[in-house]
Amino acid sequence: MNNEKPKQSPKTAGAPVVPIEMRGVAMGAIADPDFLVLKDVNWTVASGDFWVVGAPQNSGKSDFLMTTAGLMPPVGGSYKFFGSPTRIFDESRLADRLRVGFIFEQSELFHYLTVAENVALPLRYHHNLPVDEAMAAIDDLLGLTELRPVADVRPPDLAQSWQKRAGLARALALCPDILLADNPLGALDSRHCHWFRRFLDELSLGHKWCRNKPLTIVVTTDDFRHWRGGRFQFALLKEKSFVPLGSWNQVLASEEPLVKELLAAPMAEVGK
């Protein structure tokens, strides 16, 4: 019996696999896939990148993330997810789909379940764990996200800030490789905004919940001020185009009117 491992081709040996690679991608709207919200998107996300994509409200941010998550197929172009061409993650590509954690802007929690039940749901559904085992598995995660005091509360009885934390915890339950967050800091008070930003920073650098592996993160926002500083890469959705901006210093130096709009409020207001 030959126990030798198959040799890697010179082309792929030792080469890092790029999580997200789009070339000429066009994206439709959730409500109407035939209506283009973005076209000719050329974008590469390397492992461990942290991207902040800005645009005003109703500019296609959610459509952009839904397509990136494989929940909507691109209308055209080439999208490779960890090196494999993809249009949408159907059941045959469940393993790929589970590599992505998604935080919805409105959390989208099940109102008839408690916070703990919502967070444990991915483990019960995808790993077929009994209730007791699933609850035990997410207990540390509830602690890390400070959700233990509200674990038995249902979402309608919680403030939106805590609902967003529950959405974050649910997205992390399966320890994904990529985290996509739709306007995660929107409508948060300053305390929750600071906590959320800090926790995402920790995840991007390598958090114990993710086995200390840096998480690849993409967030959308309608307010760049919340993301000042840091090692983020910034981009803009403008007139159906994806426009890379660069670092925070490049954002501040930009003469683009829309960038200035997303930086409009006085900086002194941020973090109060």
Is 7 strand, coil or helix? coil
Q: At what angle are helices 115-126 and 160-172 packed, to 10 degrees?
A: 20
Computed over every residue of the chain, the mean pLDDT equals: 89
How much is the pLDDT for 87? 77
Using a CB cutoff of 8 Å and minimum separation of 24, what contacts does 104-109 make?
Answer: 104/167, 104/182, 105/62, 105/182, 105/183, 105/184, 105/186, 107/155, 107/160, 107/163, 107/164, 107/166, 107/167, 108/167, 109/155, 109/163, 109/166, 109/167, 109/170
Count other C-beta atoms under 10 Å from residue 34's C-beta: 7
91-122 as b/e: b if 16+ CB within 10 A:
eebeebbbbbbbbbbebebeeeebbbbbbbbb
Q: Where would I find the beta strands (DSSP E) of the chain? A: 20-28, 36-45, 50-54, 76-81, 84-85, 100-103, 178-181, 216-221, 233-238, 241-246
Handedness of CA 61, 67, 69, 71 (dihedral sign): positive
pTM: 0.90
Parallel, antiparallel, or unpaired: how do β-strands 36-45 and 20-28 relate?
antiparallel
Each residue's pLDDT tens digit, 159-210: 999 999 999 999 999 999 999 999 999 989 999 999 999 999 999 999 999 8
* DSSP designation for 183: S
Instruction: Enter the tokens of residue 207.
Output: 């958090």
| pLDDT tens for the 272 residues of the chain, in order | 344 433 433 444 456 789 999 999 999 999 898 899 999 999 999 999 999 999 998 889 999 999 999 989 999 999 999 999 887 777 777 788 889 999 999 989 999 999 999 999 999 988 889 999 999 999 999 999 999 999 999 999 999 999 999 999 999 999 999 999 999 999 899 999 999 999 999 999 999 998 899 999 999 999 999 999 888 999 999 999 999 999 999 999 999 999 999 998 544 344 33
How much is the pLDDT for 15? 66
Instruction: Enter the tokens of residue 240.
Output: 């159906």
